[in-house]
């Protein structure tokens, strides 16, 4: 592949590829020798049979892909009743034979202009959202949950050029966990900001995000931090999620090793500010890859807490599959190192049907109008790609 024109060439070849944000730019993964479509029956064997080795590994000695929300629930024993479904795979992982390092400046011009469908339907209007909100408020007051995330979806029917979308998104809303997948009948474009697992050797970190503020000309990062610190609702939400992520890490880490490394800082994105912390620990020596995945996924910051009872409440309420949303994308290396994000701020296009799922947190101090509007703020960076 001609590196100078890598994006145009890989688009022309029409072969599957993945782009994932790295520290200095992006990595492009392609020439896949294996493609494993996950099911509830094969997920455990897939994770357990990854050829883990203590010896030096090649750059391509890894599997990269995603776990969907539904298969992660099944993995930890949470049942989901029958819901409306796109029949999209529950997870897919690829074994790359080629990795190309790219700069942050992704240049790609589509050869054909596509007229995108600008109109989206939302699966929950404001009244329906408010009704669900009221039900969950009662659950909070009764002590069944302390925080819960209501998922809404924006959908349209549209053929897209995912590489064009991703390159434009990387220029307008570059996120630390951004990625895209292009395969024959589906694509995913994501500007996810949230890392769930970053494991190197026995060290592991997670970066929960809980707290969102819409940007405007009068607010900078310093004022955003002041807002979060003074806002009771945002502070409660953040503290609960941090405590839950510490608890999840404690299941797999040496007692006393789990610590908050960065506490309540602000990160800036295209349309909003986020309230963020960083937590780390040292993994126990007998812990396996499957144990880490089961302890940490699905990521608590996009579910609510406590995790298990809240998952049961969500799954009884929701009428359609989340698919990729609040699943995890990333890689597992053959030496056991791994990196996974939480799939949020993402577009799934499957058989020319697009969906963007978002969620906002409900705590006892929440307001339904504010939370409903927050969902649109979170989806806006993706929706703008269709304009």
Helix (H) or strand (E) holding 304: strand 304-305
Give pLDDT, residue 112: 78
What does pTM read for this prediction?
0.94
**What letter would DSSP give residue 101?**
E
When pLDDT is cut at 50, 70 and 90, the band that residue 3 belongs to is: low
- The residues that bridge with 93 in the sheet, in sequence order, are 36, 65
Is it the case that residue 2 has pLDDT exceeding 80? no
Average pLDDT over residues 94-101: 96
Which domain range does residue 177 map to?
3-386
Point out the least confidently predicted range of 156-170, 274-288, 356-370. Answer: 356-370
For the chain, where are the alpha helices, taking DSSP H only? 6-13, 43-48, 69-75, 126-141, 162-172, 221-230, 232-250, 289-296, 307-317, 368-383
In the chain, the number of structural domains is 1
- The residues that bridge with 92 in the sheet, in sequence order, are 37, 66
Residue 103, classed as helix, strand or coil, is coil
Is it the case that residue 118 has pLDDT exceeding 60? yes
Average pLDDT, the chain: 92
Is it the case that residue 148 has pLDDT exceeding 70? yes
Return the CATH number at 275: 3.60.120.10
- Predicted confidence (pLDDT) per residue in 286-340, tens digit: 999 999 999 999 998 888 889 999 999 999 999 999 999 999 999 999 999 999 9
Pairing of strands 147-157, 121-122: antiparallel
When pLDDT is cut at 50, 70 and 90, the band that residue 53 belongs to is: confident
Is it the case that residue 176 has pLDDT exceeding 90? yes
Distances in Å between the Cα of 54 and the Cα atoms of 45, 201, 228 are 20, 10, 44
């Amino acid at each position: 592949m001609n590196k100078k024109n890598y994006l145009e060439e890989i688009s022309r070849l029409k072969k599957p590829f993945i782009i994932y944000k790295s520290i200095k730019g992006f990595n492009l993964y392609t020439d896949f020798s294996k493609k494993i479509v996950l099911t509830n029956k094969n997920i455990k064997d897939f994770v357990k049979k990854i050829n883990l080795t203590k010896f030096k590994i090649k750059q391509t000695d890894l599997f990269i892909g995603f776990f969907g929300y539904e298969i992660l629930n099944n993995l930890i024993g949470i049942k989901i009743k029958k819901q409306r479904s796109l029949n999209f795979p529950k997870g897919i992982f690829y074994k790359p034979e080629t990795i190309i390092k790219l700069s942050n400046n992704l240049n790609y011009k589509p050869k054909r202009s596509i007229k995108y469908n600008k109109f989206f339907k939302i699966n929950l209007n404001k009244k329906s959202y408010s009704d669900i909100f009221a039900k969950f408020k009662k659950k909070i007051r009764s002590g069944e949950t302390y925080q819960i995330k209501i998922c809404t979806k924006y959908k349209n029917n549209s053929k897209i050029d995912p590489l064009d979308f991703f390159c434009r998104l990387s220029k307008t809303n570059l996120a630390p966990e951004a990625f895209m997948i292009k395969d024959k009948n589906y694509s995913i474009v994501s500007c996810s900001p949230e890392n769930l697992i970053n494991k190197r050797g026995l060290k592991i970190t997670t970066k929960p995000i809980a707290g969102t503020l819409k940007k405007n000309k009068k607010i900078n990062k310093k004022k955003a931090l002041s807002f979060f610190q003074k806002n009771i609702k945002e502070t409660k939400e953040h503290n609960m999620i941090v405590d839950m992520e510490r608890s999840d890490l404690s299941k797999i880490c040496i007692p006393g090793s789990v610590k908050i490394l960065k506490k309540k800082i602000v990160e800036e994105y295209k349309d909003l500010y986020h309230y963020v912390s960083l937590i780390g620990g040292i993994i126990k020596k007998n812990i396996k890859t499957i144990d880490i995945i089961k302890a940490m996924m699905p990521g608590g910051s996009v579910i609510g807490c406590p995790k298990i009872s809240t998952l049961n409440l969500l799954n009884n309420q929701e009428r359609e599959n989340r698919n990729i949303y609040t699943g995890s994308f990333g890689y597992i290396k053959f030496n056991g190192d791994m990196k996974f994000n939480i799939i949020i701020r993402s577009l799934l296009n499957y058989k020319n049907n697009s969906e963007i799922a978002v969620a906002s947190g409900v705590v006892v101090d929440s307001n339904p109008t504010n939370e409903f509007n927050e969902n649109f703020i979170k989806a806006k960076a993706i929706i703008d790609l269709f304009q």
